[in-house]
Structure 1
């Protein structure tokens, strides 16, 4: 884009006025450039700019605990629900009657 503007300006005597790139074009340039760099190059650049704290040496780093993936978490939650629901007695098992009596009361002490 800038080179094209320079080529278009060649042979003229007036001052050149560059037009800034549009945001999507700029983002594309950044993405292409970063994808060509190694992770260590990017990290070292951030370290030199004091944006990233120094990391311990590779052998001193502790293994980072990985979070469980979403499907295993959902499976675990569903199993807990099934276990809880299966422990609940049905109305038939509770033998409810339409009449209430004092013997149905439950004493709760705190």
Structure 2
């Protein structure tokens, strides 16, 4: 059985952006919800939702490298579909750039 996917929290935990953490974008309710998720498929779906949320909110380019470092330290591998999204730059960083260019 594979290891539990660690929380998307990157240990910043400052809830300033309308109740969202400035480190990972989760709200306190989302952090509590993630802790209750036991199935790996649901954890991966949560991560996908979170990266979409980060892209929508913008300014979360720091999260992906910090989270990947956390995964490496804990020796956890994500599903190939999520790993491809990270390596292809299809997470918050790339979407933020395109969003800013739409408004800039």
TM-score of Structure 1 vs Structure 2, range by shorter chain: under 0.3
Kindly indicate whether structure 1 or structure 2 has the higher relative contact order, using CA contacts under 8 Å at least 6 residues apart.
2
TM-score (norm 2): 0.24
**Higher strand fraction (1 or 2):** 2
Q: Which has the larger radius of gyration?
A: 1
TM-score (norm 1): 0.23
